[in-house]
Amino acid sequence: DTGVSQNPRHKITKRGQNVTFRCDPISEHNRLYWYRQTLGQGPEFLTYFQNEAQLEKSRLLSDRFSAERPKGSFSTLEIQRTEQGDSAMYLCASSPGTAVWRDFGSGTQLSVL
């Protein structure tokens, strides 16, 4: 197992376009988390799944953001009508349900021009 995989690593888009990121968690990890991180700040929680169920969403996750985890495996995070303020690193993490740690991916760096 190579850890949590995120694709793409970098994404440049124009304001108003839609973007989608993918996260492949460590197999057998039933929990999957999405975070957003801007320069100089710690990661901010966006949402998390237990298997295919989305259990919590942050208020940061506006209507333009949607996350899915079909079949409880990989997850996608879509941002519609991107804005310059959406520019950030989007991090995915996974863990077994009872684990004390989270395994993070290397993130997708989004730049909205």
CB of 62 to another protein, least distance (A): 18
In angstroms, the CA 6 to CA 25 distance is 9
Nearer to another protein, 17 or 52 (CB): 52
CB atoms within 10 A of CB 8: 13
Query: Which of 46, 43, 3, 44 minimizes the C-alpha distance to 23?
Result: 3
Of 20 and 50, CB closest to another protein: 50
Binders in 35-94 for another protein, by CB under 8 A? 35, 40-45, 48, 56, 91-93
Phi, psi angles (nearest 5°) of residue 85? -70, -10
| Binding flag, residue 23, another protein (CB under 8 A) | no
Counting residues that bind another protein (by CB under 8 A) gives 26
Residue closer to another protein by CB (options 52, 103) is 103
Q: How far apart are CA 105 and CA 78, in angstroms?
A: 17
Q: Which range in 12-20, 60-68, 72-80, 100-108 contacts another protein by CB under 8 A?
A: 100-108
Residues in the site for another protein, rule: CB under 8 A? 4, 33, 35, 40-45, 48, 56, 91-93, 97-107, 109
